[in-house]
Amino acid sequence: MTEATTPQHPEVLWAQRSSDTDPDKNVVYLTVNLPDIQEGTLKVELTGTTLTFSANAGDPGRNIPVRDYAFSLEFYDRIVPDRSTRKLSSRSLYFVLRKEEARLEYWPRLQKSNVRNAYIKTDFSKWVDQGEVEGEARDDDMDPMGSIGEGVPTLRGMGDLDA
């Protein structure tokens, strides 16, 4: 049984890559930053235009109360659900979402609406500037925890980062 009756919003981090010639480089990295997701309660619905998430998270054994979490968002543009992947760890739920349209320009924001949401943030550990996209985007090349060091992104050309 969960403590809260109204679901809370987990922190959602995102970054992206774009290419007009290589579909494997057209991705959105999205991390639901939520430790101790109870896998049996996890519900994810991914369509070409939306992501809906709900789960309970917590660990009574470690004195971390179990709470309800949920959110829904409409993507800025279409993705390909059957080519997208997800991975659950003890700290987060991580997605590699394949963009449907191959184009060089980045999405200006994650969501279709231009409304800011406090729980959606740029994942600076995975962000690269639009002109610096190199290498192939793979499901296993991004550590869900991220790392800071080489390739730390700059703030040039990021547009509206929080929405």
Cβ(96)–Cβ(85) below 8 Å: yes
pLDDT of the residue at 127: 79
pLDDT (average), residues 134-154: 43
If you average pLDDT over every residue of the chain, what do you get?
83
pLDDT of the residue at 137: 47
Among candidate residues 118, 113, 110, 12, the one with its CA nearest the CA of residue 55 = 12
**Is the pLDDT confidence value at 160 over 60?**
no
pLDDT of the residue at 101: 93
User: 163: number of CA atoms within 13 Å, CB side?
Assistant: 10
Give the percent of the chain with pLDDT over 90.
Answer: 66
Give the percent of the chain with pLDDT over 70.
Answer: 75
pLDDT digits (tens, 9 = 90+) for 64-108: 999 999 999 999 999 999 999 999 999 999 999 999 999 999 999
The DSSP bridge pattern shows strands 43-46 and 27-33 to be unpaired
pLDDT of the residue at 134: 52
pLDDT digits (tens, 9 = 90+) for 13-50: 999 999 999 888 999 999 999 999 999 999 999 999 99
pLDDT of the residue at 79: 97
**Is the pLDDT confidence value at 113 over 90?**
yes
DSSP SS3 for 6: coil
pLDDT (average), residues 135-152: 43
**Is the pLDDT confidence value at 150 over 70?**
no
